[in-house]
């Protein structure tokens, strides 16, 4: 059976491993007693090998996997990019990039081992001759490193090249599989800009790749706390019976950033907060939190249950968009004690831009488990703090028992899954305040990963790369879930395009967001959790 979506590889072994954590070296990616098996022979081909994603995330991730002995000796890296460079120069670049961006202190011998297995091909993504050179290099790599024709192509490139690169790989015979050889392709977000473009991209990829070869990556699903949602829900008998409309009042999913657009104004001004975060990261969090128990942890069983959740979300009609969706844009303000400029004054942003830097939705899942339980999603730039979390608020118990006491109301219980920057889980509940009268105070039981398992220095891509090389698609998105996500947000995009915002900027940098977002919950008699640093 495929591994649980929580490394390494078996949950019971992980629990046993926790007994040795006092010996865990701070800053290391590996845990003592790690029991995951290394992947089989393969070569990783990185398109966009000279880019930012490669040097900051992919190379450090491969180094961490090597440090954990999860990469085989029969392994190679092949970089493909436009930059004119020979293999020797590329190897030196890898050495420098790892020195600058590794998540922990590097072992020179291990770096050398990786560098010796690195090769480079210069080429244009649209040039068939470049793919012939790539095919020749991979044949040499098979001979020199024993990679056996198993190739993982990582498209760390602009989305408009995804379909073209896939077509060129097929023409060059580099994605044709056999009983002895696997060929897989990883594509990064954004996968489309709306439902129509997502459907068109999936159709183009299907012409040359099977669904089992296509790995649509979402780095959020590489985070330990996100993977732990399934284990937390389904391995703990005290929570699963209450995970439904009878006990849960509502759910809040927050992805807040204190940073602005950080030099990405050109991209962000075309995308906006809704496109950038909700169809992918946030709906993936929602589907993990709300899915039915799968029949097993096999990839298709898990992914099918996630898809069912997205298909069950009631679409927002034109009128509902006006009452169930909120957009905002930050103005001048203070973040971390420093004055920061308004969005419209950021580099490469239009002077009168109507692009939202904040988006909030009220969604409803129309199924037996979640009927009448609202799911509130919010994401934004330049908010009060960096914080990603899922907050499950339980229904209040009846007050009848406390009618002859000073207790005026009972604070609802909350279960908060913190994703970043501080990973952990907190349970908020009521307890009696010491004294002669009955008074109830709010207390919390707080689990933090760093306290129990130590700090693990990772990029968030290690598990995803490892799973792809192993052929486990559990944490990757299928074509139908991509399209379902866009189907949920496209009606909102269409209304916002037809009715441009008239009151931007409508929240100050460093604040909790626009007042309209508070009204989204207050109309239901609820309120957002405060965005603050842990």
The structure tokens listed for 433 are 């305040």
| Contact assessment for residue 468 and residue 152, using Cβ atoms and an 8 Å cutoff | yes
DSSP one-letter string for 459-522? -S-HHHHHHHHHT--TTSB-HHHHHHHHHHHHHHHHHHHHS--SS-S-EEETBS--HHHHHHHH
The structure tokens listed for 99 are 């020195």
Distances (CA, A) of 301 to 4, 200, 205, 283: 12, 26, 23, 18
| Contact assessment for residue 23 and residue 53, using Cβ atoms and an 8 Å cutoff | no
* Residue 499 main-chain phi, psi, to 5 deg: -120, 85
CA angle 86, 90, 91 (to 5 degrees): 120
Task: Provide Rg for the chain, Cα atoms.
Answer: 24
Pairing of strands 214-216, 183-187: parallel
Quick one: which H or E segment has residue 64?
A: helix 59-67
- Of 119, 145, 153, 281, the catalytic one is 281
Q: State yes or no: cis peptide before 135, omega within 30 of 0.
A: no
Residue 429 neighbours by CB distance under 10 Å: 15
The structure tokens listed for 73 are 């000796």
Whether residue 250 lies in the annotated active site: no
CA pair distance 419, 44, nearest whole angstrom:
29
H helices of 102-187, in order, are 108-115, 128-145, 162-171
Active site residues: 281
């Amino acid at each position: 059976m495929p591994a649980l979506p929580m490394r390494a590889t078996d949950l019971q072994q992980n629990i046993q491993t926790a007994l040795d954590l006092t010996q865990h070296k701070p800053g290391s990616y590996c845990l003592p007693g790690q029991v995951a098996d290394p992947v089989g022979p393969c070569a990783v081909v990185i398109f966009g090998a000279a880019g930012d994603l490669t040097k900051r995330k992919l190379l450090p991730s491969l180094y961490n996997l090597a440090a954990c002995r999860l990469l085989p000796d029969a392994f190679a890296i092949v970089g493909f990019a436009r930059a004119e460079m020979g293999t020797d120069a590329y190897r030196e670049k890898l050495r420098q990039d790892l020195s600058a961006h590794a998540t922990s202190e590097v072992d020179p011998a291990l770096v050398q081992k990786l560098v010796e297995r690195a090769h480079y091909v210069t080429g244009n993504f649209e040039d068939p001759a470049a793919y012939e050179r790539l095919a020749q290099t991979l044949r040499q790599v098979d001979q020199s490193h024993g990679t056996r024709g198993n190739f993982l192509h990582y498209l760390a490139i602009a989305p408009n090249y995804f379909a073209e690169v896939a077509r060129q790989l097929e023409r060059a015979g580099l994605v044709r599989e056999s009983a002895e050889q696997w060929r897989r392709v990883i594509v990064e977000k954004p996968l489309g800009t709306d439902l129509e473009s997502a459907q068109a991209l999936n159709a183009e990829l299907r012409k040359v790749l099977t669904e089992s070869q296509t790995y649509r990556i979402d780095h959020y699903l590489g985070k330990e706390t996100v993977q732990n949602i399934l284990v937390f829900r389904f391995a703990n008998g005290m929570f699963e019976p209450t995970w439904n409309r009878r006990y849960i009042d509502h759910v809040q999913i927050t992805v807040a950033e204190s940073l602005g657009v950080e030099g990405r104004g050109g991209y962000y001004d075309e995308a906006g907060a809704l496109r950038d975060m909700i169809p992918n990261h946030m709906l993936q969090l929602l589907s993990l939190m709300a899915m039915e128990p799968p029949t097993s942890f096999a990839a298709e069983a898990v992914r099918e249950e996630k898809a069912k959740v997205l298909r069950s979300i009631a679409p927002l009609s034109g009128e509902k968009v006006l009452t169930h969706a909120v957009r905002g844009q930050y103005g001048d303000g203070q973040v971390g004690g420093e004055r920061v400029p308004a969005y419209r004054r950021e580099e490469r942003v239009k002077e009168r831009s109507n692009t939202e830097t904040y988006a909030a939705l009220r969604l409803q899942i129309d199924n037996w488990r979640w009927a009448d339980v609202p799911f509130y999603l919010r994401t934004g730039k330049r908010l009060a703090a960096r914080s990603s979390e899922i907050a499950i608020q339980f229904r209040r118990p009846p007050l009848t028992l406390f009618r002859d006491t000073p207790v005026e109301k009972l604070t609802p219980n909350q279960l908060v899954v913190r994703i970043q920057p501080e990973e952990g889980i907190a349970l908020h509940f009521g307890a009696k305040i010491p004294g002669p009268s009955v008074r109830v105070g709010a207390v919390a039981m707080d689990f933090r990963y760093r306290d129990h398992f130590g700090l693990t220095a990772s990029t968030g891509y290690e598990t995803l790369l490892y799973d792809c090389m192993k052929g486990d698609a559990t944490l990757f998105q299928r074509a139908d879930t991509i399209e379902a996500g866009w189907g949920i947000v496209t009606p909102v995009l269409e209304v916002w395009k037809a009715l441009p915002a008239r009151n931007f900027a409508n929240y100050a940098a460093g604040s909790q967001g626009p007042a309209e977002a508070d009204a989204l919950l207050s109309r239901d008699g609820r309120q957002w959790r405060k965005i603050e640093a842990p």
